[in-house]
Structure formats: structure tokens, C-alpha cells
Structure 1
Amino acid sequence: MNENILIVEDEIKIARFLELELNYEGYKAEKVHDGREALMKIKNNNYDLVLLDIMLPSLNGIEVLRRVRQFSDIPIIMLTAKDETMDKVAGLDMGANDYVTKPFEIEELLARIRALLKRNTQISNGKGKTENLNYGALHMDADMHIVTYNRDIIELTKKEFDLLHYLLLNKNRVLTREKILETVWGYDYLGDTNVVDVYIRYLRSKLDDRYNVKIIQTIRGVGYVVRDE
């Protein structure tokens, strides 16, 4: 195993508990208690995953996440004591891969860490990754992380990009909301699947509505599909 995990948590007891549990599971865990220190650690070290609390001194977790996403796609799980939808949406919108609300069961957190690391390894090995995907005038360069339509650059968040990539990669296959959540969000989502519908609306507003096309089709009661033109 030996994956390196950075714990960013200002509550000393929680940070120590996570460090001990992760070390016991075979990971190499390191902890910091400050947002700015965490940002420097991530810039200067090769971690496989980050556990990032939202409430931090110096820089809060959302700001740390925003800055990290400017230079790295490292898997990040947000830790928060707030069970509010806006905090979850903000984190996911900024590029978080998952979130866990405190207090949490350590078994659940470990399962999500394993799932996320497994998914990231598959992507690193080239599984599920295609450099160039096209749909009419829509072009996606997955390697450069760029989407264009008629050569116009489409600004997408990381989660919007990942969702569109998954849909294009599975062209002509109807994907259920549950399957989309499991793959794009990186874990078996146990809550409301409405988040998929929200992000589909985001994509449609930037593509379908803007260019008067119908790229993403809804299959009622099932999910979504991108079909050949």
C-alpha cells in the first residue's frame, strides 16, 4: 500500500486519531493544522490523497482547495462539521472528489479513501481516459483539460468536465444517476442523486442552451445519454 496521505485538520485530537488509524491501515500519514502550511506541503511533496477540513486557520479549506486545483488534480476528500448543502456543493464545485461530514465513522472514511485511490490509480494507468473526444463541433482534449465548441473555449469546473468526459466516453450508453455518481464522484453515493441533475443543468446551460444543440439527452426514470448525431 504505502500511499502518502496528508491530513489537514486543526483539531489536534481528530488529526492524531486519523494519523494513527491511517498508519495502522498501512498508509503513510502526515498531518498539518494550518491552511497555508497545507498549501505549501502539497506544492512541495508528492501526496496520493489529501483529507482537508473546511474550518482552518490562515486559509479555510475551500480556499486551499481552490488554489490546489490551479496546479494539481490530487484526490481530495473534504472534512466538515457543517452538514449544509452549500458547503458540499462549494467543495465539489471547486474540485473536491468527495466529502465526509463530522462526526464520521472511520470505516466509512477508509472505504471512501480506498475507492478514491483505486479510481485514481486506474486513471493514472490509462483506464477510462481518452485524450480526444468529439461530438459534432464539440471537442474535448482530456489530456490538456480543454473543451471547445466551434473553437470557442468552454469554461467548465472540474466536476463539470469529469461529468462531460464520462458521458462522451460512454456515447450511446444510457448511464444511470447512480452509476454517474459512483464513477464521477468516486464513491458509492448513499444520499440524494439530485446532484447529478444539478450538474447536467450546468452543462446544458453552457453547451445545449448556448449553441442551440441537444447533446445530453434525458432518459426518464433512468439517467442520461449522449447519442451519435
Structure 2
Amino acid sequence: MGNKRRVLVVEDEQTIAESVAARLRAEGFEVDLAHDGPSGVAAAAEHRPDLVVLDVMLPGFDGLEVCRRVQAQRPVPVLMLTARDDETDLLVGLGVGADDYMTKPFSPRELVARVHALMRRVDRAAHADPAGAPLVVGDLEVDAVQRRVRRGGTPAHLTPIEFDLLAYLAARPRAVQPRERLLAEIWGWGEAAGTRTVDSHVKALRRKLGADLIRTVHGVGYALEVPE
């Protein structure tokens, strides 16, 4: 079955790794397993997965270093698993190229839903209109074809899902977007259980592009301010 999507699971806890792999295989994915940092990087180079499910705490070297090395080889969506619900750790993970994260313990059903959502995002990006002109909002320029962002003429390096979130907000300047809508449109989730994911990605965008760019509407969501 050459058209099956391939997922690499890098997880040192055998029970979790096998459970995740079994659930993903039941959904039709081909799954490869690795159980430490070095073998995770080697497996990514050998199998060229469509997506990586990556634990943060690994023997050898940690998941953050795995993510850096894997993304340097070839950009690929990464869903990080962390045992600690620490915002700094999550932002660091997003900063080294992870697209999403889940905190342990997690529901296998939710993990599969997030994998499907990341795959849909990749498909949307692949079918972007090649004739589409860059979106310019004030001093912000968002190029959907080249997937590049500049603010004030300065390039910013965004993860794929950060780009999609910014592009969605920039296409609707000043309009408040509820977290639940952003989850549905960007992540493809039909439930509001992951609103902290949105918050963390917004914080990462502010860190990279300026704290004044995205306005928080407390209790509702976010809006892109029109930059000067």
C-alpha cells in the first residue's frame, strides 16, 4: 500500500509506544517505532515519515534535540508528547519546529484526531493557489505560496502551524476569532478541549513578530491588529 501515510513514533515507554502504534495502524497508517533520541533521528532519515509523534523525555538526547535534527534533515510535522504541563517547555518545543503538543496522560482517540488534523493541514498547504498574491496588512506580509512571513521587511521563521494561524488571522484583520473556531479551522478539531494549544501558538507568534500584533479578547479569542 504505497499511498499509506507513514508515522514515526519516538517514545521510550514501551507500553505507550505500542498503544499509540496500534491505534494509528488501526486508522490505516504505517507506523515505525524508535525508543531513544539517536534512533529517532536515524529512523526519521531512513523512513522519511509524513509525521512524527515525539516524546520530550528520551534517553540519549531529548525530544527537543531530536526535533531540531529531524527538521534540519527535512521539514516534517511533529506532534510532541510531554509529561510536564509547563508552558516554557511547550514554547521551547514549538520554537524548535514542533507543530502541536499533548500532555500525558492523553486520550489515544484525541491523539489520532490531532494526527489527522496535522495531515489535513499539510494537504491544504500543498494545494495552495500558486497564483495567490502575498497578503499585506500594514507592515506585515504573508506569502501563502512561499509560506514566508515578513514584518517591517524582516523575515520571521514560523512553524507550519504558526504560519497557518497567522495567515487565518491576517486574512480577517481586526475581526475577533474565538478559540474554538481557530481550533476547528486550523487544527481541524471539533471540540474545545485544546484551547491552550491556541494560546501557546499565539504566544510563540508574539515572541517572533511582536507583542502588539495579536490582541487578546478575554474570554473569547484573538484578533490581528493592523500594524502601522
Question: When the two structures are superposed, what TM-score results if normalisation uses the length of structure 1?
Answer: 0.77
| Superposition pairs of residues 22-37 of structure 1, within 5 angstroms | 22-37=24-39
Please give the per-residue CA displacement for 1:100-146, whole angstroms capped at 9, x wherever unaligned: 2222221221222222222322222227x956222244333344443
Rounded Cα–Cα distance in structure 2 between residues aligned with 1:73 and 1:130: 23
Change (3 A) 1:80 1:130: farther
Rounded Cα–Cα distance in structure 2 between residues aligned with 1:149 and 1:121: 26
1:195 aligns with 2:200: yes
Aligned residue type for 2:181: K
1:218–1:225 contact (8 Å) kept in structure 2: no
2:51–2:77 contact (8 Å) kept in structure 1: yes
Rounded Cα–Cα distance in structure 2 between residues aligned with 1:175 and 1:36: 41
Specify the alignment match of 1:224 in structure 2: 223
1:124 aligns with 2:123: no
Specify the alignment match of 2:156 in structure 1: 155
Rounded Cα–Cα distance in structure 2 between residues aligned with 1:32 and 1:55: 13
Q: CA deviation at 1:172?
A: 6.1
Q: Which one of the candidate residues 90, 94, 113 is aligned to 1:111?
A: 113
Change (3 A) 1:189 1:58: farther
Give the SS at the match of 1:120: helix
Rounded Cα–Cα distance in structure 1 between residues aligned with 2:188 and 2:132: 18
Aligned residue type for 2:155: I
Give the SS at the match of 1:170: coil
Q: CA deviation at 1:41?
A: 2.5
Q: CA deviation at 1:97?
A: 1.9
Give the SS at the match of 1:69: helix
2:140–2:227 contact (8 Å) kept in structure 1: no
Aligned residue type for 2:154: I
Q: How many residues are matched?
A: 221
Q: Which one of the candidate residues 206, 210, 226 is aligned to 1:205?
A: 210
With a CA cutoff of 8 Å and minimum separation of 6, indicate the structure with the bigger relative contact order: 2
Q: Where do 5+ consecutive residues of structure 2 fail to align?
A: none
Instruction: Output the aligned Cα RMSD.
Output: 3.3
Q: Where do 5+ consecutive residues of structure 1 fail to align?
A: 209-214
Please give the per-residue CA displacement for 1:196-226, whole angstroms capped at 9, x wherever unaligned: 65346435627x5xxxxxx656667553145
Rounded Cα–Cα distance in structure 1 between residues aligned with 2:104 and 2:132: 36
Question: When the two structures are superposed, what TM-score results if normalisation uses the length of structure 2?
Answer: 0.77
Change (3 A) 1:170 1:39: farther
Q: CA deviation at 1:91?
A: 1.5
Give the SS at the match of 1:139: strand
Please give the per-residue CA displacement for 1:136-178, whole angstroms capped at 9, x wherever unaligned: 443333444433345x323344255443222223346442233
Aligned residue type for 1:223: Y
**Range moving further from structure 2, 71-80 or 133-142:** 133-142
Change (3 A) 1:149 1:123: closer
| Superposition pairs of residues 133-172 of structure 1, within 5 angstroms | 133-150=135-152, 152-158=153-159, 160-171=162-173
Aligned residue type for 2:4: N
Specify the alignment match of 2:56 in structure 1: 54
1:180–1:196 contact (8 Å) kept in structure 2: no
Rounded Cα–Cα distance in structure 2 between residues aligned with 1:224 and 1:84: 25
